[in-house]
Chain A
Amino acid sequence: GAGVSQSPSNKVTEKGKDVELRCDPISGHTALYWYRQSLGQGLEFLIYFQGNSAPDKSGLPSDRFSAERTGGSVSTLTIQRTQQEDSAVYLCASTILGGGLLDTQYFGPGTRLTVL
């Protein structure tokens, strides 16, 4: 079966522009996470969707960041008025969240965002 997919794989944009990053989770996975990984850093939690519940946005660094998940599947992370410090790899992960091994998060390949 297909894994988590993300698009685009690379995005170069100019400071001040808006960008949209897409994540297609594994079919049947109810939970979806967005992380940011800056050069040489660990993964930073951004936002979490679980089923029909309100998303946990506690990790979003500013109000320029937003995300939505349509139909409980595909998710889009939007960064408005991009800044150079937004340059990073944005990773998406999905999981069933059924307890035990079902809580394992499976990651996509990431989108490398470069803000010039």
Chain B
Amino acid sequence: EDQVTQSPEALRLQEGESSSLNCSYTVSGLRGLFWYRQDPGKGPEFLFTLYSAGEEKEKERLKATLTKKESFLHITAPKPEDSATYLCAVQAVVQGAQKLVFGQGTRLTINP
């Protein structure tokens, strides 16, 4: 069964304190791994897609990396506006249908 596990569930950092969020997955036939950001009361906002082990993507203070079993979302010198829930999802083909399997998310709080 395809599974995605994110850790930690919640993370509190001081402004400027760098850290990493983890997304481990088991899926047959990975077609892509997606990172989304979700603010309270809003839908998930697309951040990155990674396709193959060793791939890295960057956007402002965020960098996503991918290995064969997990992905990391590194956040460097975060600011309070980076506070959000970060969702990881893997794209899999299930009985011919392309689906996203989501993790539970990591709730990130950056204190000023």
Q: Which residues from chain A sit less than 8 Å from chain B, CB to CB?
A: 4, 31, 33, 35, 41-43, 45, 48, 50, 56, 58, 91, 93, 97, 100-101, 103-110, 112
Contact = CB atoms under 8 A, between A and B. Distances in A.
12 contacts: A4-B43, A41-B104, A42-B4, A43-B44, A43-B87, A58-B97, A93-B43, A101-B49, A103-B49, A104-B49, A107-B45, A109-B43
A91 B45 CA distance: 12
Nearest to A43: B102
Given A42-B102, A43-B87, A103 B43 contact: no
Contacts, number: 61
B contact residues, range: 20 to 34
Contact of B99 (A48, A91, A108): A48
A97 B91 CA distance: 11
Interface in B94-108: 94-95, 97-105
Interface string B36-49: 10000111111001
B42 A110 contact: yes
Q: Tell me whether chain B's interface is mostly helix, strand or loop, or mixed.
A: strand
Contacts of B95: 56, 58
Nearest to B107: A40
Interface in B47-92: 49, 51, 87, 89, 91
B98 A97 contact: yes
Given A56-B97, A100-B51, A42 B104 contact: yes
Contact of A45 (B32, B42, B99): B99
B25 interface: no
B44 to A, nearest CB: 5
B91 to A, nearest CB: 6
